[in-house]
Amino acid sequence: MSTGNAVVPVLVDYNLSQITPNVFVTAENTARQYPMIFSSGINCVINVADELPHIIFPPGVESLKFPILDIPTFPASQYFDIVADRIAANTATNRRTLLYCHHGRSRSITFILAYLIKHHQLSLPAAFALVKDKRQIALPNVGFWSQLRTYEYYQRLRQYPQYQQIMNPIPMIKNIPEPVTYGQEVLNKLSDGLQKVLARDPITSAFSNPTLQRYRRLYMQPHYPYTQRKPAPFMTPFHFKPQHGIYQKH
């Protein structure tokens, strides 16, 4: 892999690494070598890479696939229990399980760590030290490592409730606020300002406060007294009134 003028090597281990007596991990190319799979006594092969095609093995070898992306924001934790329980079920019946991804470095290692945390009661550092000793290139991405820390915490709470007093809790975001657009923010500010103005106005608050009797009387009486409008003088002949005594003889 080249970055500009520099060449960054990509570490790939094509060996079949045995983490526990019944759990193995390798890269994609090694998983396709049927003679090595059969000679190692593998009974179940789990593909944890979304971009890799599903491999169909001959009868006697079970093949599973989980669509995992090797990006930190991918929610891989939703598959932790499924894969870990499947590995544990195979181990209980003395069946061997092989996990593989593109390089056998991040995704497959992440699920093996989840299995060791849940079914072997290992801490995340202890589980990673065990895996690192068996496979030197093991390195989950930062997002998967964070999800493993959270997974370890809740597994300890499930197994030992008193563990919460020993281990510092990991902050979890339960309710993520929805993003507010600029128009919504302006509308909220205008609405708050209008509510404050209405609360200060005695006329508008008279309806909501029945104790203000004077404001209630204000609405019981008209604001302006009703007066009958008189016609303007000298507009029609009927309104013409001669002055008193103008036609009287002297």
19 and 25 in contact (C-beta within 8 Å)? yes
Spatial distance between the Cα atoms of 208 and 205, rounded to a whole number of angstroms: 5
96 and 42 in contact (C-beta within 8 Å)? yes
Please provide the average confidence, as pLDDT, over all residues in the chain.
78
The model scores a pTM over 0.95 = no
List pLDDT tens digits, range 120-150: 999 999 999 999 999 999 999 999 999 999 9
Spatial distance between the Cα atoms of 92 and 119, rounded to a whole number of angstroms: 11
Q: Give the residue numbers marked as catalytic.
A: 101
Residues of the chain scoring pLDDT < 50: 1-4, 7-8, 169-178, 204-207, 212-221, 250
| Secondary structure (DSSP) of 4-40 | TTEEPPPP---S-EEEETTEEEE-HHHHT-HHHHHHT
List pLDDT tens digits, range 177-200: 445 555 566 666 666 666 666 566
Structural domains of the chain ordered from first start: 10-165 (3.90.190.10)
